Amino acid sequence: MSAEAPISRLWPAPSAGLDDAELTALYGRADRPHLRVNFVTSVDGAVSLDGYSAGLSGEPDKRVFGLLRMLCDGLLVAAGTLRHEGYRAVRLDAPRRAWRREHGLAEYPTLVVVSGSLDLDPAQAAFADAPVRPVVLTHAAAEAPPRLAEVAELVRCGADRVNLAAGLAELRRRGLGQVLCEGGPHLFGALTAADLVDEVCLTVAPLLAGGGPGRIAAGPAGGHRELSLRHVLAAGGALMLRYTRDAAPAPPTASS
């Protein structure tokens, strides 16, 4: 994929060379509590290439990935992805921090980690270097490793498993109403099963990964949900799709 591929809108209302302000307006923030999920996949549905999502992602996907981080209050990630992908502290560049200040938001979103085991390393940069104290959503029976509580706030939702609906309600209570989930597949599967997903942003990378990697959703079967297509963007052969659970507004007619 080209390193500088411009992003165009194919549908609705084709428009070439979208700038960051236009992209920001296209994704926006919801006017109510909202859970947006963002994934990248290969054309044949793989969640990773050589074990990581980086092999699927190009410069346009990374650009949207960064904008979506700018737009959220809370950045939700499962412990599996945090550990495997070696999450670093959530940082934004100066223009994006300025955008947040201008819109009355905290300078950085809060990292929110979902873990049942609390098998988390307090020295991992995502915790140790965080500009905002991360939240860990866990359950009452989970035992925290030494020093985790020094670098993160443990929020216990559920007796012996994480109750995701209660966790999201607690985030809303703390002012984190706009939540961006970056995966991984087990968390996405559980959120879908609990019908907590409001929006899915999906980049389709122009490649075949072949057999081996899993899908972007994993876990027990169940959770068939209808979605409405909101836009189709394209860049360097990749498609960036935005779907929501609520019905899309009717397209403008010639008389409207």
Binding site for ligand NAP (CB under 6 A): 39-40, 47-48, 51-53, 56, 78-81, 84-85, 114-117, 119, 161-162, 164, 182-187, 190, 216, 218
Q: Which is nearer to ligand NAP, 207 or 218 (CB)?
A: 218
Q: Which is nearer to ligand NAP, 98 or 141 (CB)?
A: 141
Q: Which is nearer to ligand NAP, 110 or 115 (CB)?
A: 115
Report, in Å, the least distance between residue 182 CB and ligand NAP: 6
Report, in Å, the least distance between residue 88 CB and ligand NAP: 15
Report, in Å, the least distance between residue 189 CB and ligand NAP: 8
* DSSP state string for 134-199: -EEEE-TTPPPPTTHHHHSEEEE-SSSS--HHHHHHHHHHTT--EEEE---HHHHHHHHHTT---E
Q: Select the residue whose beta carbon is closest to ligand NAP and give its number.
A: 80
Burial pattern 154-163, b for ≥16 Cβ within 10 A else e, equals: bbbbbeeebb
Two tokens at 162?
A: 């994480």
Q: Which is nearer to ligand NAP, 211 or 249 (CB)?
A: 211
Report, in Å, the least distance between residue 48 CB and ligand NAP: 4
Q: Which is nearer to ligand NAP, 112 or 114 (CB)?
A: 114
Report, in Å, the least distance between residue 57 CB and ligand NAP: 8
Whole-number Å distance between alpha carbons of 189 and 183: 9
Phi, psi of 99 (to 5 degrees): -60, -45
Closest to 169 in 3D by CA, of 137, 209, 126, 129: 137
Q: Which is nearer to ligand NAP, 144 or 232 (CB)?
A: 144
Q: Taking the CB of residue 234, how many other CB atoms lie within 10 A of it?
A: 21
Angle between helices 94-102 and 59-71 (to 10 degrees): 30
Residue 42 near residue 1 (C-beta atoms within 8 A)? no
Report, in Å, the least distance between residue 185 CB and ligand NAP: 5
